Amino acid sequence: MNAAPALPSLELEVPSVAFFGRTLAEYAQFFSLDPNALKGISVLDVAAGPSSFTAEACKRGADAVAVDPLYGCTPAALAVHVQIDYRRMLAQMRAKPQLLRFQSFRSIDEAEASRRSAAERFLADYEQQFVHNRYIGAALPQLPFLDGAFDLVLCAHLIFVYAKQFDFAFHLEACRELVRVSRDEVRIHPVVGLGGKPYAELERLRTALDADGISSEVVPVNYEFFKGSDTMLVLKRR
Ligand SMILES: C[S@@+](CC[C@H](N)C(=O)[O-])C[C@H]1O[C@@H](n2cnc3c(N)ncnc32)[C@H](O)[C@@H]1O
């Protein structure tokens, strides 16, 4: 008897956390931010990758800083990460369009053009601003900042998305650390994994954070690209 053909995996298969980034316009949608309200506030983008959020937010008068474990590499080395990881990620998206929702972008081509423009803008800014401490090499669950150093702390497409690579303890420590360095609030997006399913241990995580005096709320956002990516988790110290 012939073996049944293997069903294609129902999630994006990414061998390691992808160095893949988005623009401020996309961050504004999935974090429900008003770009005009960024002026004068301090913002930390954690797991920022080749996102252009920080470059664009600084242009708008925010005091924005980005963190990623790969910062500290040369611009040429980061450009190679972009080249390899964009190719892999876009190939996965094209192979599994059923995991995507064409609300915020009309097509994969449109999403690709936007994300490539983010990486180009990031690489140019990184080359100029790394020496001025706009881009800091560090990794969750430990951040090299004082308590309450930033008005707003953002973390997109790391926590919850890569639940296979990071265990529950990492998720809890990472959330506590994001809250520690925030003055007002933390926003995390999305609240689903690479298959579009909600993070399985969300209630356990929220209960543990609550016991630490951290309130959490799952808030709908006017955005969806990966299936199920239409919410963010907002954390605040009580
Ligand atoms: C998919 S990218 C997200 C980029 C950006 N936040 C966005 O949404 O466009 C995930 C990033 O997380 C970074 N990363 C991996 N492990 C990390 C850790 N332990 N702490 C912080 N960032 C990490 C990777 O280097 C990668 O650049």
Counting from 1 in the atom list of ligand 1, the atom nearest the Cα of 68 is 22
Which of 12, 14, 16, 17 for mutating ligand 1's site (highest number of atoms within 8 Å of CB)?
17
Q: How far is the CA of 22 from the centre of ligand 1 (A)?
A: 11
Predicted local distance difference test score (pLDDT) of residue 15: 82
Predicted confidence at residue 218, as pLDDT, reads 98
Please, what are the domains in the chain? 32-237 (3.40.50.150)
The pLDDT confidence band at residue 3, using thresholds 50, 70 and 90, is low
Terminal CA-to-CA distance of the chain, rounded, Å? 62
Q: Does residue 49's CB lie within 6 angstroms of at least one atom of ligand 1?
A: yes
Rounded to whole angstroms, the Cα distance separating 123 from 74 reads 10
- Does the beta carbon of 141 lie inside 6 Å of ligand 1? no
Q: Pick from 93, 89, 117: which is nearest to 18 by CA?
A: 89
Per-residue model confidence as pLDDT tens digits over 96-120: 999 999 988 999 999 999 999 999 9
Query: Is 14 close to ligand 1, i.e. is its CB under 6 Å away?
Result: no
pLDDT at 137: 98
User: So what's the pLDDT on residue 1?
Assistant: 46
Q: What is the pLDDT of residues 185-225, one digit of tens each?
A: 999 999 999 889 999 999 999 999 999 999 999 999 999 99
% pLDDT > 90, the chain:
92
Q: DSSP string spanning the chain?
A: -PPPPPPPPSS---SS-------HHHHHHHTT--GGG-TT-EEEEET-TT-SHHHHHHHTT-EEEEE-TTBTB-HHHHHHHHHHHHHHHHHHHHH-GGGB-TTSSSSHHHHHHHHHHHHHHHHHHHHHHGGGTSEE--BTTB-SS-TT-EEEEEEESSTTTTTTTS-HHHHHHHHHHHHHTEEEEEEEE-SB-TTSPBPTTHHHHHHHHHHTTEEEEEEE-S--SBTT--EEEEEEE-
- Rounded to two decimals, the pTM is 0.96
Closest CA to 66 of 143, 141, 175: 143
Share of the chain above pLDDT 70, in %: 96
Cα 226 to ligand 1 centre (Å): 16
pLDDT at 2 over 50: yes
